[in-house]
Structure 1
Amino acid sequence: MLAHMHNFAPVKKESGTLFFQNFKLIAAILSAAIIALSANAAETTDSISVRLSEISVTAIKQTALADNLPTASTVIGKNEIERLNVVTMKDASEIAPNFYIPDYGSRMTSSIYVRGLGARIDQPVVGLNIDNVPYLNKDNYDFDLLDIERIELLRGPQSTLYGRNTMGGLINIYTLSPLRTKGFRAMAEYSRANSIKAGASYYGRISESAGMSIAGYYTHTDGFFRNQYNGRHTDKEDQWSVRWRTSWQPMSNLTLENTASVLVGRQGGYPYQSVKSGQIAYNDTCFYKRVSVTDGLTAHWLLPGLTLSGIASFQYINDNMTLDQDFLPQPYFTLTQARHEMAFTLDLVAKGSKGPYNWLGGMFGFYKHSNMFAPVIFKETGIEELIIAHRNQYNPEYPIVWQENSFNLDSRFRQPVWGIAAYHQSQIQLGNWTLTAGIRIDYEQNTLYYKSNCLTGYDVMDATVPNHTTLYAKRTIDIDDRGRLHKKFIEFLPRFTAVYKWNNITGNNVYASIARGYKAGGFNTQMFSDVLQQRLMGYMGISQQYSPEQVVSYRPERSMNYEIGAHCTTPDNVWTSQIALFYIDCRNQQLTSFPDGSTTGRIMTNAGRTRSAGAEVSLTWQPGRQWRFSTSYGFTDARFRSYNNGIEDLRGKRIPYAPQNTFFASANYYLPLKTNTANMPDRIEFNVNCRGIGPIYWDDTNSVSQNFYTLLGASVGIVNKRYSATLWGENLTAMQYSTFYFVSMGNAFLQRGKPRRIGITLRIKI
């Protein structure tokens, strides 16, 4: 339920009873399947495994398998990726405990919340690497990816090895390699709202030592939400991408890989529903379009006792977000944010070992340059209610009349950012103990050149004589503000871990870690329109409320993280489990808010001090090759310790937008089919899954929230080594829930979650 804690309830309530009804439904389905199918003793193999021998090779900075690392981790294998239709990071939300990515807005919106940490705009708390190449801009995180081999979700700070913006964790996505895969692959999918996905890829060898792959992908949807103002869907989308990967082993100990990708997409988005009217109804066009180009080159060289690696990348983004910023049917104002951004990264890594001692060290550097044009266009109603009415209440005897129906608050930015870092990690094994210490020194410079201008005018009328208003004066507003803001940061990021391996079984260990994390500071570019608006009001004799120096800059976020946990596996791999307890002490946590009053932008602020404590547990049970059960649960209690928002002291309040609970459960069954021909299906796969999220508080005063809710999914598919056809459903109970809530200009808005969806997916391998 999305509700004020008093009597406001615009969203259908899901009580704990409904959660248990869903749980009982899952249990009933599984029980029926067990009774009907348990007599079948044939066995098939689920190739999902978190123990992939290639992890230590492809994950350049990891020195062990994911479940041997002193951190909480979740690995999603290829079969599970296909079974759950995971093609983007948002599809992996909730599978890992305390890992949540809400689906709202547009693909520019890639908010990630882990263990109470997260933010809606600017810097992320979780890093993203695709085939070891780091993606620097969170706005470029959300895209569909074909032929994913596995996804690693590492929770807890990874800042010592990976630096800025990984204080909440790291996402490693690995795609199929042309050196290990061959042939043609294709997929096609159709589901509700005329949603189409289609992809094709080819993997082949150029020579005995070189392979190449090419993959193309296209998606389309008519959208799920309709704008009542014009009758059109708000979230229609078309997106296509091409990915070209080349792998070459000129020597047995040297591997070179290059991956280039191009993505083009356009979507509507921003289906924000007015809480007051209960409708999505706004008059101006909203869309987001993006062109992104990425190229990453990786070199991996094995020497006696030493491994050298290098990762270089180029990233380019050309995107445009245009929206009706008031989200009302009246013409208030619109915002455009058009950007060109180029980024370069270089990471040089060396690691070696001698006896019980292992070490890893490296240098990392990046340069990012952005050019942005961000005009806010004030229209009739916005001029009348936000400017004229405000001005005339101070001086009613000399009211004003605007000279035009609209005007621009133009802002242009040029922002070069660069940084360099050095890091080292030492590890020693003492019997069953493994002790690790690491340090990173990170230096960053961030400069913002801004140019803000406004050229408009108004007439001052003389109303001192009753019923007789005359022209008193004409006024011209000509604002041309230019300036430069500069920030530099230096961070020391240590980490200490201890791991005790017990029973001499791989994957059985207990660990403890202490680590520092940090998220870079920056500038609130969206607030320049508000600064201009206040400058404009100053022309009319109303005092200016703030300057760029006061609201545009925000400080880095820093944290100390304490964690203990365990990984447990039975000798026959029937049971695997993880448990983790954590405590995070965070300073200057970055929070996104909408300023009070009639302002038009969003602002990143720093809360004084917060803390987050919680627990995570994951469990997998595979009693036979036909059955596989997995579940995970995460609990986070994240609160302010010291924060005053200028109106009240919020000590003890929960941190907004981060869910308190996440839950995931999945049950898989394979029914072997006895066939005599290779082209017939050899098994039927059944899956039932459930995701749970909440409660989520939508504001820092905790007056509005979304209660805990669950989403039920299921699939059944016929499978052959060369093809598969899967019928699937998501949100089968048609649960009503909200993924986003905010207040702007005193108006409350929310976005509903997607409705029930049923579709079919076909895959072919030749």
Structure 2
Amino acid sequence: MRSTINPFTPRLARPLDLRRLATPEYALTLILALSSAGQWNSAWAAEETAADSVTSQDASQKDSEAAKANADTQLQKVTVTARRRAEDAQDVPTPITTLSSNTLETQRIYKVQDLQQVLPSVNVAFIHARQSSVAVRGIGNNPASDGLEGSAGIYLDNVYLGRPGMAVFDMLDIEQIELLRGPQGTLFGKNTTAGVLNISTKKPTFSPERTVEVSGGENGYFQGKGTVSGALTETLAGRLSAYRTRDDGYTKNIYNGDDLNGGERQGVRGQLLFQPNDDFNLRWINDYNEEDSTQGTMVVYGQSDQYRQRAALVGASPVNDPDRNEVNINGRQNVSVHQGGSSVEANWNLNGGFTLTSVSAYRYWHFTPANDETLNVSAINNTGVEVHDRQFSQEFRLASPTGGFFDYVVGAYVFNSNLGNKTFTDYGPEADRFILPAAQNSFNSLDGVSTKANGKVVTDSYALFGQGTFHLTDRLDFTAGLRGTYEEKQAKVERFAPEGGETPIGPGATIRQRQLGAYDSGDLSLHNASPSGLLSLSYKFSDDVLGYASLSHGEKSGGVNLAVASAPTAGADSLLVGPERANDAELGFKSTLLDRRLQLNANVFWTGIHGYQATTLYQPAGSTTLVQVLANAGSVRSRGVEFEATALVTRGLTVNVNGSYNDVTYLSFEDAPCPGEVATAPGAPATCDLTGERVVGASKWIGNLNSEYKWQLGNGFEPYVNASYSYRSEAEGTLDNSDLSKIDGYGLVNLSTGVRADVGDGQLDASLWLKNATDKEYYLSAFAYINGAYTASVGQPRTAGVTLRYDF
């Protein structure tokens, strides 16, 4: 073997500083270095196998030509791991929607809040990283619930993300996204009641892969991405990906002229794949992401009479038209997020055809906000919740061989999370007059006061699970699954005595103590033993048509409200939330028709949720301020129809359409918070009854259409156009179903056109794109505010840009 000195080797030998690596200059240098190293290793490998090169190249060329011919005339199979095995998605008897890396690229989908533009039955409520949630079939709208896991689970490379905010980063180097709907738990590590969003990144490759991509657009948008992958030795491959994204923002602050809801995000992911033989492989993944932005800026969306009166009283002039996408605030808006993690997945092929899998992972998440409220006067100068979260998980799975009468997967799962939050509010000199009733607004109760509170919850979860399939005939399968979960939560909430401000006058001291006084919950604890189960029957009517029916039960353990909230008046036990239980029934079919030119899938579902966990509102006795409280919001029913069709209409033209009709209703919610227009009226009731009303955040109709046409010109030259349309009907904006917070239905149009061409040793892809082409005004979520007002998170306006990508 020839000895060659690689000038980049000394630099690669240094320990990697992930924070430094996340800067674009250092990451680009390292990617270029690894690219050079990959070329050298490729040359070394080619030299070792020179004797067989001609034969292998001929075979590879024939395989490539055959694959390309099939791709032009047939839809390709999609492999999923929904049942913890690699299977054709059309053979799995459960509703699944997949998004390939190509779909994400062509539609410019790189943020979690954009996923609802391409997936059925999905609602993403987004304000910023902490106040975000993913709901499936209307279940899971729980933003900012630090002491509660989501009803819909999010997985990154087989690792459960304990906080939805852990998925708020640019989705870099993604292989595939799978959406599984309905309770999951008999195969996935963490038990969830609504569904699973399974994100898989691309693995290291032993053949060289290198990609550089640069995008620019309106509002100062810039994104740079780079990936390099290849063999480091005969048995070790590596992959390194990095990105940096920035934009100026699209919400104008007329107080000082600043643009808000923009900022910078950057991150890096490094991987090693060790594969000494066909019976063992180990994949080690490390990633780091950070954000410094003004996300979380919300416009005044709906106003009660009381809000208008109080704003006028303090001389404020808020922007009263949400369609202007402007705010008038005199404080600082900032969000800082630092997160990362490390995971090791090992797979052994054992004697007898068994496969043993181990997934070990550690992740951390640190969120720090600085938020003004809606006014250009100093009523609330700064408020927010800082969160530190660390989690560890370990999963073992054993998969039996397939091909016999019975096959199965069994496993064990351990999860530990240690989360702490710090709630802070700095009141300004106009706090009393804006927040308190007229009879109390001159007592110096809140003016100039600062208050802080700490919350902490430690979660330990243990589970055993298994799922087996009986192949009763060549066409009829019966599947049964069972999971047992035991979970403990140890928590504590403490609020410190307020500081600052003048000495309260008269009853002002009582008001200050009641609303901001010191409080210690003492040690709180929850213990839950939760079963989950699945029964499924599937039948292949032909090789291309699969029908299925299933019954499943899922349970999610209880949670803790990590804010003082109701505790001083209602007691510490009011901070505890009971478990959420779901019963689900599915009936559907999957078909591949017209010589694999059409895939048509559809299903109906019915889900009953008992003890639905939600972020509700609570008004402590004697207080005029609403506080967020976790609670069991009674019973919920979700039922509907989902469908998905993909057609290769003609050579080069592919059309995909998916959608859902989803009726999500409270069957029982008698002690719900009252809407702002009711709660602020004279003689308002303490609670309202939402029984029979729609569940917050759930659009009844969702439809997504995407089409791509590629001209087949040959000679490595391929022009293309892409068009997509996403529609969702109106939804309730907040848990109280206020008329002031309803989110109108909207449709978004995204367009792109470009050309792919063979250039040098690689392929160049140059494209022009237009997001939200009709400049539709839309909102991602709404939020209940002080004095019966509501704010809303604004969706991205029309943005045009250009992208250059080079794969070599």
Give the secondary-structure state (helix, strand or coil) at the position aligned to 1:409: strand
Q: Which moved more, 1:381-390 or 1:740-749?
A: 381-390
Shift of 1:594: 3.6
Q: Residue 553 of structure 2: which of 513, 516, 520 is its match? A: 516
Q: Residue 405 of structure 2: which of 356, 363, 370 is its match? A: 356
Alignment-mate amino acid for residue 724 of structure 2:
N
Q: Residue 151 of structure 2: which of 84, 109, 125 is its match? A: 125
Alignment-mate amino acid for residue 283 of structure 1:
N
Structure 2 residue 739 is the aligned partner of structure 1 residue 666: no
Alignment partner, residue 485 of structure 1: 524
Alignment partner, residue 719 of structure 1: 756
Q: Residue 613 of structure 1: which of 627, 633, 639 is its match? A: 639
Does the CA-based 8 Å contact 1:495-1:516 persist in structure 2? yes
Shift of 1:458: 5.5
- C-alpha distance in 2 between matches for 1:443 and 1:416: 14
- C-alpha distance in 2 between matches for 1:407 and 1:601: 18
Structure 2 residue 320 is the aligned partner of structure 1 residue 272: no
Q: How many residues align?
A: 684
Does the CA-based 8 Å contact 2:728-2:747 persist in structure 1? yes
Alignment partner, residue 145 of structure 1: 171
Does the CA-based 8 Å contact 1:732-1:757 persist in structure 2? yes
- C-alpha distance in 2 between matches for 1:758 and 1:736: 16
Structure 2 residue 708 is the aligned partner of structure 1 residue 710: no
Structure 2 residue 642 is the aligned partner of structure 1 residue 642: no
Give the secondary-structure state (helix, strand or coil) at the position aligned to 2:790: strand
Alignment partner, residue 90 of structure 2: 67
- C-alpha distance in 1 between matches for 2:777 and 2:384: 31
Cα distance change, pair 282–46 in 1 and its aligned pair in 2 (3 A):
farther
TM-score by length of 2: 0.80
Structure 2 residue 256 is the aligned partner of structure 1 residue 207: no
Structural mapping, 1:370-519, within 5 Å: 370-386=419-435, 389=438, 391=440, 400-401=443-444, 405-431=447-473, 432-456=475-499, 459=503, 479=518, 481=520, 483-505=522-544, 508-519=545-556
Structural mapping, 1:551-700, within 5 Å: 552-570=575-593, 572-596=595-619, 598-599=624-625, 601-644=627-670, 645=672, 647-675=687-715, 682-699=717-734, 700=736
- C-alpha distance in 1 between matches for 2:73 and 2:176: 12
- C-alpha distance in 2 between matches for 1:462 and 1:449: 33
- C-alpha distance in 2 between matches for 1:287 and 1:47: 51
Cα distance change, pair 155–46 in 1 and its aligned pair in 2 (3 A):
farther
Structure 2 residue 589 is the aligned partner of structure 1 residue 546: no
Does the CA-based 8 Å contact 2:380-2:425 persist in structure 1? no
- C-alpha distance in 2 between matches for 1:45 and 1:180: 24
Shift of 1:289: 0.8
Shift of 1:49: 6.0
Give the secondary-structure state (helix, strand or coil) at the position aligned to 1:454: coil
Shift of 1:715: 0.8
Give the secondary-structure state (helix, strand or coil) at the position aligned to 1:324: coil
Cα distance change, pair 62–49 in 1 and its aligned pair in 2 (3 A):
farther
Does the CA-based 8 Å contact 1:164-1:518 persist in structure 2? no
- C-alpha distance in 1 between matches for 2:338 and 2:472: 51
CA deviations 1:437-493 (Å, max 9, x no partner) are 010001111111222111447646589xxxxxxx9xx99997353511111111000
Q: Which moved more, 1:189-198 or 1:113-122?
A: 113-122
Specify which structure has the higher proportion of strand. 1
CA deviations 1:644-672 (Å, max 9, x no partner) are 12533222111111111111111111112
- C-alpha distance in 1 between matches for 2:243 and 2:615: 34
Shift of 1:150: 1.5
Does the CA-based 8 Å contact 2:344-2:361 persist in structure 1? yes
CA deviations 1:414-434 (Å, max 9, x no partner) are 321111000111111012111
Q: Residue 789 of structure 2: which of 720, 727, 747 is its match? A: 747
Structure 2 residue 806 is the aligned partner of structure 1 residue 764: yes
Alignment partner, residue 735 of structure 1: 776
Q: Which moved more, 1:701-710 or 1:632-641?
A: 701-710
* Identity over aligned pairs, percent: 22
Alignment partner, residue 33 of structure 1: none
Alignment partner, residue 30 of structure 1: none
Does the CA-based 8 Å contact 1:43-1:672 persist in structure 2? no
Give the secondary-structure state (helix, strand or coil) at the position aligned to 2:327: coil
Alignment-mate amino acid for residue 66 of structure 1:
A
- C-alpha distance in 1 between matches for 2:275 and 2:197: 27
Give the secondary-structure state (helix, strand or coil) at the position aligned to 2:102: helix
CA RMSD between the two structures: 2.7
Give the secondary-structure state (helix, strand or coil) at the position aligned to 1:696: coil
Alignment-mate amino acid for residue 178 of structure 2:
E
CA deviations 1:562-592 (Å, max 9, x no partner) are 1111101016211101101000111111222
- C-alpha distance in 1 between matches for 2:154 and 2:513: 52
Cα distance change, pair 514–702 in 1 and its aligned pair in 2 (3 A):
farther
- C-alpha distance in 2 between matches for 1:702 and 1:405: 30
Alignment-mate amino acid for residue 233 of structure 1:
D
Higher RCO, Cα 8 Å, sep 6+: 1
Alignment-mate amino acid for residue 177 of structure 1:
K
Cα distance change, pair 753–47 in 1 and its aligned pair in 2 (3 A):
farther
Shift of 1:96: 2.2
Give the secondary-structure state (helix, strand or coil) at the position aligned to 1:229: coil
TM-score by length of 1: 0.84
Alignment-mate amino acid for residue 718 of structure 1:
V
Cα distance change, pair 461–139 in 1 and its aligned pair in 2 (3 A):
closer
Alignment-mate amino acid for residue 433 of structure 1:
L
Alignment partner, residue 37 of structure 2: none
Shift of 1:595: 3.3
Cα distance change, pair 761–598 in 1 and its aligned pair in 2 (3 A):
farther
- C-alpha distance in 2 between matches for 1:653 and 1:589: 14
- C-alpha distance in 2 between matches for 1:110 and 1:743: 15
Structure 2 residue 415 is the aligned partner of structure 1 residue 366: yes
Alignment-mate amino acid for residue 469 of structure 2:
Q
Shift of 1:254: 0.5
Give the secondary-structure state (helix, strand or coil) at the position aligned to 1:161: coil
Give the secondary-structure state (helix, strand or coil) at the position aligned to 1:564: strand
- C-alpha distance in 2 between matches for 1:367 and 1:263: 22
Alignment partner, residue 83 of structure 1: 106
Shift of 1:43: 8.1
Alignment partner, residue 250 of structure 2: 224
- C-alpha distance in 2 between matches for 1:630 and 1:60: 24
- C-alpha distance in 2 between matches for 1:107 and 1:47: 43
Structure 2 residue 137 is the aligned partner of structure 1 residue 115: yes
